[in-house]
Copies of this chain bind each other. A is one copy, B any other.
Amino acid sequence: MKSLSQRGQAMPSSPIRKLVPFADQAKAAGKHVYHLNIGQPDIKTPDSFMNPIKNLDMPVLEYGPSAGLTSLRKKMVEYYQRFDIDVDYEDILITTGGSEAIIFTLMAICDPGDEVIIPEPFYTNYNGFALEAGVNIVPITSGIEDNFQLPPIASLKEKITDKTRAIMICNPNNPTGYVYSKKEMLALRDIAQRHDLFLLSDEVYREFLYDGETHTSVMHLEGIDDRTIMLDSVSKRYSACGARIGMIVTKNRSVINAALKFGMARLCPPTIEQIGTEAGIDTPQSYFDEVINEYVERRNVMVAALKEMPGVVVPMPKGAFYLVVKLPVKDADAFARWLLTDFDVNNETVMVAPANGFYSTPGLGKDEVRIAYVLNVEDIRKAMHILAEGLKAYPGRIQ
C-alpha cells in the first residue's frame, strides 16, 4: 500500500470522535445514550429559513458569486447593524461554513510556520484548520479556577515571537461558555496594536448570551479596523448546522481580497443554503427569545445538578451552550468511555466530551469534560442523574 502524506497522518482526529465507536457499541447493545458531547442543537430551524428553500423557483442551480450572493451580503449588513456592527457589504465574504472562514483567514494572513496565539481550552477543530494552513497554534491557558477568563496579558506577551501573526479568540466561547468582557477586549486590542498582530474573533454564538451579559464584538473595537477579523456562521443561530454557510467580516479589504482568491478557486458556497440564510435574517425576535429562554433553563437545570455532585467544579457559563467542568476523576477520557461501556441507569447512559482534546498543552484538562446543554430539560435532568450515579459508582473516582 502506498504511503500517505505526513500531513494526513498528523491531522488530528477529534477527541470526541474517538468515543463514537463505544457509543455505537452501547447503542447496538440496546442502551439509550444521552448525547451531551456535541453541539448539535435540537432546536427547530425557523420557517423563515426553510420556506424559501421549499418554494425555490430556480430552473438552473447555477454557480453563485465566489464572494457569496450579493443580496445575502447586503442583508448581512442589516443583520450586523442590529448588533451595532457597522460594515459595508464588501466587508463581508460568504464562506462554506465557519470552518472555511477560519481556513481562508489563516491562509490569507499566515504563511506556513507562522504562529497564532489562542486561549485554551479551544474548539478542537482549530487544530485541524491550523494544520491544513501549516500554522502553529500557540496556546495561553485559561484556568477553570478563574472561570476561563482571559489569561493575564503578561502571559500572552511572553508567547509573542517574530512568527506570531494573530491572536484568535472564540467569544462567546466554545467550549467554556465564557464571554469576554469589554475590558478584556480592549486589552486584546492594545496588545494587537502594539505588537502588529491581527485579532481574530469567532463569534458564531453571538445570540447565545445569558443573564443580561453584553457582548463586545471585535468589530466594536475602535482604531484597529485593519487588524480585526470576525468569523461567523449561521449553524447555531438558525439551528442550521447542515447549511454550511459562514462569513469573514473585516474592514481590511486586502484580507477580503486575499480570502476571495481562495474562494474563487473553490468557485462558490452552496447556493440554496445562502437563499435560506438570507431569508433567515428576517426571523422574528420572538424565535430567538424563546430559544434563549430555553437555553437558560437548560443551563440552570444542568448547573444546579452539577453543583450537587460532590467534587465537581462548575464555572457558570454566560454564553454559547457548553460548559467545561472538573470531575473527581484522574482521567476523564477513561471515565467517559466507562460511562458508555460499563455503566447504565435503567439501560440509559450519557456521552460527554473529554476536555483534554480542547487543550493544546499536553496533560491539561485531563480531569475535565465539556458538556453541551443541547437536550430538552427533561432529558438533561435524566442525563444529570445518570452522570451523578456514574460518578458515585466509578471505580476510578478520586475520594
Contact = CB atoms under 8 A, between A and B. Distances in A.
Secondary structure type dominating chain A contacts:
loop
Most B CB contacts (10 A, CB to CB) among A11, A100, A109 go to: A11
A53 B50 CA distance: 10
Contact of A261 (B13, B100, B107, B196): B13
B4 A265 contact: no
A55 B56 CA distance: 10
Copies in the complex: 2
Interface string A39-69: 0111111000110011110111111100000
A164 B169 CA distance: 39
Interface residues of A, number: 81
A8 interface: yes
A246 to B, nearest CB: 10
Interface stretch (A267-275, A300-308, A330-338, A379-387): A267-275
B266 A100 contact: yes
Nearest to A271: B242
A134 B305 CA distance: 50
Contact of A264 (B4, B45, B128, B266): B128
A94 interface: no
Contacts of A103: 266
A99 interface: yes
A45 B61 contact: yes
A110 interface: yes
Interface string A252-271: 10110011011011111111
Contact of A107 (B7, B43, B100, B276): B7
B254 A269 contact: no
B60 A264 contact: no
A322 B111 CA distance: 36
A373 to B, nearest CB: 16
A114 interface: yes
A7 B111 contact: yes
Contacts of A163: none
A111 B6 contact: yes
Contact of A108 (B5, B109, B241): B5
Interface string A80-117: 00000000000000001101100100011111101000
Contacts of A11: 258, 261-262, 265
A271 B262 CA distance: 23
Contacts of A128: 261-262, 264-265
Contacts of A258: 4-5, 8-9, 11
Contact of A196 (B2, B17, B41): B2
Given A56-B54, A244-B96, A270-B242, A8 B107 contact: yes
A70 interface: no
A225 to B, nearest CB: 10
Nearest to A130: B265
A61 B242 contact: yes
Contacts of A241: 61-63, 267-268
A36 interface: no
A1 B254 contact: yes
Given A5-B165, A45-B61, 16 more contacts: A2-B198, A4-B258, A5-B110, A45-B60, A50-B56, A54-B56, A61-B240, A61-B242, A63-B242, A96-B96, A96-B270, A97-B266, A99-B265, A99-B267, A112-B134, A273-B273
Nearest 9 A/B pairs, CB to CB: A128-B265, A242-B271, A8-B258, A99-B266, A11-B261, A270-B270, A8-B108, A63-B241, A61-B240
